[in-house]
Amino acid sequence: MKKTSIVVVGSSNTDMVVRAAHLPGAGETIMGGTFFMNAGGKGANQAVAAARLGGAVTFIAKTGDDIFGRQAIELFFKEGIDTTCVLTDRSNPSGVALITVDDHAENCIVVAPGANAALVPDDISAFTETIQQASILLVQLEIPMETVGYAIQTAVAKQVKVILNPAPACAIPDELLEMVDVITPNETEAAMMTGVKVVDIQSAEIAARKLQVRGVDTVIITLGVQGAFLLHGETAVLIPATVVNPVDTTAAGDIFNGALAVALSENRPMGEAVRFACAAASLSVTRLGAQASAPYRNELTTS
């Protein structure tokens, strides 16, 4: 494995999506429209995004011994992702996500993790060399927290740069945050981690500085159509998103993280890396699906 490679440790799901006029409220049944299935999972989405944008990607994950798992591995292979570290769990099914997307491109998601929840530190230990020979480790929180922590510790031992996408939001120990180089919450995740409701640039900076105090030098809060707020050392700046007509925002954050990993693996300055990630995420929301929405390098005006 080349030192310029990206290792993604995370989840793989099959997304089952229904389009509807609006998202249902509690106890509400609504008639939807189009149904389709897509490959998804935050880890897999980010791995595919990075691969399509030119990254040399290895994916560490666990799928079930079922049709969803086999289809996922076949798709990763077609995307040029190294699948030698994707494990098969014969006791648990592959992960599944149920997604509703409304006419405003907003969504709600429920995930049944299946084999993702069985990806344990012992599994990661078999791939220590793979992680430690990479330039970037990218992790999320759809796998057990102890597995995330073990992967990060493995990377830090050899000074591999760590990007943590803290999604879905949950409590993260300070000792883990202190090992993270870059953290990428959205507004909701930043609010849950800091107690600061992120509603504008000023509140985003307050939240980012709270996370920085907890040990992360670089904080990037993604702000949807506004772009991303970057706090890198003492540099604080809003990097705007490209103006587009959104169709489906399901995997925009995942595309952002995959693109960010690629840019940083190419040793781009942090501001330039975030601009590249914003451009990729903006293009992705003009398309339906999770992995299917990930752009290719030649589609970006910011290359």
Catalytic residue set:
254
Tokens describing residue 54: 């030119």
Nearest to 293 by CA among 260, 261, 246: 246
Tally of CB atoms within 10 A around 103:
11
Relative to beta strand 86-89, strand 57-64 is parallel
Nearest to 6 by CA among 204, 160, 143: 160
Quick one: three-class SS letters along the chain?
A: CCCCCEEEECCCEEEEEEECCCCCCCCCCCCCCCEEEEEECHHHHHHHHHHHCCCCEEEEEEEECCHHHHHHHHHHHHCCCECCCEEEECCCCCEEEEEEECCCCCEEEEEECHHHHHCCHHHHHCCHHHHHCCCEEEECCCCCHHHHHHHHHHHHCCCCEEEECCCCCCCCCHHHHCCCCEECCEHHHHHHHHCCCCCCHHHHHHHHHHHHHCCCCEEEEECHHHCEEEEECCEEEEECCCCCCCCCCCCHHHHHHHHHHHHHHCCCCHHHHHHHHHHHHHHHCCCCCCHHHCCCHHHCCCC
